[in-house]
Structure 1
Amino acid sequence: MSAWPLPLDTLPRLQQERLFSLAEERDFDANSRLFDEGDVADRFWLIRSGEVALDVYVPGRRAQVVETLGPRQQLGWSWIFPPYRWHLGARALGSLRTWEFSAAEVRELCEADPKLGYELMLRCAAMIADRLQATRVRLLDLYTPHGNLPS
């Protein structure tokens, strides 16, 4: 790997190498379900190419897409916090190429290298904040009647 994907490309080189020593290249076909809301979150991915739709289950309706992720973005953060369950679902929109990481191995690495753990968690926390805001905006767009938005 010559270029490291965001959000991890700003990690010190040695920490990048330690983390990526755990990565496996993994490809998905178009329309593959990577995970469903509520399933065990035991891994995460960095997208090399392609796009993934994040969706939320809505009773009586089909899953609603709340965000689309693409190259150089991290897919998955639910692996960080017990009980390690996905908060959303994910589906490949087309052919998808990723680096896949085992959550348990990454957590062990973070415990063994607290500096790496701290840096990784800072990046994940920023990603979580961005995703929650994007989800909030999308849900408001889906469920707020037009014309009833506060001014």
Structure 2
Amino acid sequence: MFHATGRIGRIPEEHLNRLLAFGHPVTFASGTRLFEEGGAACEFWLVEAGAVALDLHVPGRHAATVETLGAGELVGWSWLFPPFRWQLGAQAVGAVRALEFDAEAVRAAGERDPAFGRAITLACAQVIAGRLQSSRRRLLELYGPHGFAER
């Protein structure tokens, strides 16, 4: 079972328990593609064990890994925002065990119960903000002023 100590954002326990009730366990073999950039975002996952690489299509080359997510992390947030299309691709790195959620069912529950919907949206926003900050740090380490990373 997923433990609430992961990095999915802060969700009040009552809303976390409600969200977890929507999940069902899945496993992915190493190399399994969870989704492709531009595809319909119909589900999302909370990783229990293993790792998932998020990647970006690079024309004429292999997909570039932009981040690797592990236990306790949310895989996928494009399901929450129209047009519900994946912004990246994702692939299992080794065997992965996760909870899978039907995005439409979670969105519908959030529409019926605005407090639940707000809690889920805020948790996803926290994840997105954290990943944006990580991306900024990586870009600054690569392209920023010399010595920036040491500050």
The bucket for the TM-score relative to the shorter chain is 0.7 to 0.9
1:134 offset after TM fit, Å?
2.9
Which 10-residue stretch deviates more, 114-123 or 26-35? 114-123
Percent identical pairs in the alignment equals 46
Call closer, same or farther: CA 1:137–1:89 in 2, change over 3 Å.
Answer: farther
The residue identity in structure 1 corresponding to 2:114 is P
Call closer, same or farther: CA 1:118–1:74 in 2, change over 3 Å.
Answer: same
**Unpaired segments ≥5 residues, structure 1:** none
1:101 and 2:101 matched: yes
1:136 offset after TM fit, Å?
4.5
Residue 72 of structure 1 aligns to a residue whose secondary structure is coil
Q: Is the 8 A contact 1:9 1:16 kept in 2?
A: no
Q: Is the 8 A contact 1:45 1:75 kept in 2?
A: yes
How many aligned residue pairs are there?
A: 146
Query: Residue 48 of structure 1 corresponds to which residue in structure 2?
Result: 48
Describe the superposition over 1:93-150 as per-residue Cα deviations: whole angstroms up to 9, x where unpaired: 00000000000000011111111111111110111122233345546667x5xxxx43
Q: Which has more helix, going by share of residues?
A: 2
1:119 and 2:119 matched: yes
1:15 offset after TM fit, Å?
1.9
TM-score by length of 1: 0.86
Superposed counterparts of 1:111-150, under 5 Å: 111-138=111-138, 144=143, 149-150=144-145
Write the distance in 2 (CA, Å) between the matches of 1:128 and 1:2. 20
Query: Residue 22 of structure 1 corresponds to which residue in structure 2?
Result: 22
Which 10-residue stretch deviates more, 10-19 or 54-63? 10-19
Query: Residue 149 of structure 2 corresponds to which residue in structure 1?
Result: none
Q: Is the 8 A contact 2:58 2:64 kept in 1?
A: yes
The residue identity in structure 1 corresponding to 2:145 is P
Q: Is the 8 A contact 1:51 1:69 kept in 2?
A: yes
TM-score by length of 2: 0.86
Query: Residue 59 of structure 2 corresponds to which residue in structure 1?
Result: 59
Write the distance in 2 (CA, Å) between the matches of 1:54 and 1:130. 15
Query: Residue 33 of structure 2 corresponds to which residue in structure 1?
Result: 33
Query: Residue 75 of structure 1 corresponds to which residue in structure 2?
Result: 75
Write the distance in 2 (CA, Å) between the matches of 1:2 and 1:54. 21
Write the distance in 1 (CA, Å) between the matches of 2:52 and 2:111. 30
The residue identity in structure 2 corresponding to 1:82 is P
